[in-house]
Amino acid sequence: MKPANSILSGFGTTVFEVMTRLAVDHKTINLGQGFPDEDGPDSIKAMVTQATKEGPNQYPPMLGIPELRQAVAAHNNRFYNMDVDWKSQVMVSSGATESLAASILALIEPGDEAVLFEPLYDSYVPMLRRAGANVKFVRLHPPDWTLPQKELETAFTKNTKLILLNSPMNPTGKVFNKNELELISDLVNRYDTYAICDEVYEHLIFDDVKHIPLISMPGMTDRTVRIGSAGKTFSMTSWKVGYLTAAPKLMSLIAKAHQFLVFTTPSNLQRAVAHGLNNEEDWYTNLAVELQTKRNMLEGGLTEIGFDVLPTAATYFMNADFRPLGFEGNDVDFCRHVTVEAGVTVLPVSALYSTPDVDHLVRFCFCKKFDILEGAFDRLRNFFARRRPA
């Protein structure tokens, strides 16, 4: 048969799938997978049932039901003081992933350049390349992940169409600060480009750090797409309800891609998410408080075992350098090793770079129940105690 599209078929099986399979085979405690093991608020589950019973269960409006679009606009206003017209500036999508895909498809012409920070979330590059973009990577270096100004400036050229910014950032746990956002918005304006902002972790922030949406920076309103996810905000990752906010012209372009991708998103879930955004603010702001305690617990536990832990200010991911434990091998070897021998699965951070040369870090996911985290510590503590020479 004729070969399929070479860009997507070239990606092969991801290390995430490999590790997940290994975790299942070895019945491990899986701290690799990036999703919570407890569901979000009961009231929104009840609303799904109510909305399904009440109906109609037919195609809802293409841009999303008014109730949810109004709730997203009001949420933008409450948290970031943004003045958003729900009719022309808000669109509901099937997860943040679809908002990202629709934004990329709406903006990229073959040959355009797109600037990305790495390490990065894995859906960006396949989608950008499939749309025909040349991707320029700007690397944030561990342990502090500061933004390299010169490299970022060099990455922008007259061919740059967009920058894709993920803040708060998976996997680094970095929240881009005002100075960094000023630098980015200055370049976006200077080179007349767009910014797609993946802000799915906007509410999972610790230590009173403030998230500033790039869209709220001077000159950015017309050029920026701000993307959120009910999956992350309400710990309901299977629901795949996302929402984006953009200027009317930009939003109507993205809506064209959305129209032909999925057209719409289940109406019962939309009603439930609207209810959540309007009524469950305490729930999702307290989630960050609980996650901060888990973050502290993980940091303490891993440090005690002998990892060199990198600070994380947001998300539910923590990175740790395993070299102080005396392990010889790269991060993929380490992940296989602790999965098979210690019964705990984590993820190799090299998989989140374009080239796997940063290979001494592993990513722990800490949105798990306290006793699961304790269990993982016990296993790792015992395992590394046994490995240590007497």
Q: Which residues bind ligand PLP (CB under 6 A)?
A: 34, 95-97, 121, 166, 170, 198, 200, 229, 231, 237, 240, 242
Q: How far is the CB of 62 from ligand PLP (least distance, A)?
A: 19
- What b-and-e string marks burial along 141-178, b requiring 16 or more CB atoms within 10 Å of the CB? ebeebebeeeebeebbeeebbbbbbbbbbbbbbbbbee
Q: Which is nearer to ligand PLP, 273 or 373 (CB)?
A: 273
Q: How many CB atoms lie within 10 A of CB 380?
A: 25
Q: Which is nearer to ligand PLP, 76 or 99 (CB)?
A: 99
User: Residue 278 corresponds to which tokens in the numbers above?
Assistant: 């309007």
Q: Which is nearer to ligand PLP, 196 or 325 (CB)?
A: 196
Q: Contact at 8 Å (CB) between 124 and 159?
A: no
Give the angle 155-106-167 at the CA atoms, nearest 5°.
50
Q: Which is nearer to ligand PLP, 101 or 131 (CB)?
A: 101
Q: Which is nearer to ligand PLP, 127 or 155 (CB)?
A: 127
Q: How far is the CB of 261 from ligand PLP (least distance, A)?
A: 13
Q: Which is nearer to ligand PLP, 58 or 238 (CB)?
A: 238
Q: Which is nearer to ligand PLP, 240 or 363 (CB)?
A: 240
Q: How far is the CB of 54 from ligand PLP (least distance, A)?
A: 25
Q: Which residues, 6 or more positions from 283, have their beta carbon under 8 angstroms from its beta carbon?
A: 40, 41, 234, 276
Q: How far is the CB of 117 from ligand PLP (least distance, A)?
A: 11
> Whose CA is closest to 299, among 385, 366, 370?
366
Q: 375: burial class by Cβ within 10 Å (0-12, 13-18, 19+)?
A: middle
Give the angle 171-176-178 at the CA atoms, nearest 5°.
175
Q: How far is the CB of 168 from ligand PLP (least distance, A)?
A: 9
Q: How far is the CB of 315 from ligand PLP (least distance, A)?
A: 8
Q: How far is the CB of 194 from ligand PLP (least distance, A)?
A: 18
Q: Which is nearer to ligand PLP, 242 or 301 (CB)?
A: 242
Q: Which is nearer to ligand PLP, 63 or 200 (CB)?
A: 200
* Beta-bridge mates of residue 348: 362
User: In whole angstroms, what is the distance from residue 83 CA to residue 368 CA?
Assistant: 36
Q: How far is the CB of 111 from ligand PLP (least distance, A)?
A: 26
Q: How far is the CB of 372 from ligand PLP (least distance, A)?
A: 19
Q: How far is the CB of 99 from ligand PLP (least distance, A)?
A: 8
Q: Contact at 8 Å (CB) between 47 and 271?
A: yes
Q: Which residues, 6 or more positions from 172, have their beta carbon under 8 angstroms from its beta carbon?
A: 119, 140, 142, 145, 310, 312, 317, 319
Q: Which is nearer to ligand PLP, 325 or 351 (CB)?
A: 351
> Whose CA is closest to 93, among 194, 222, 231?
231
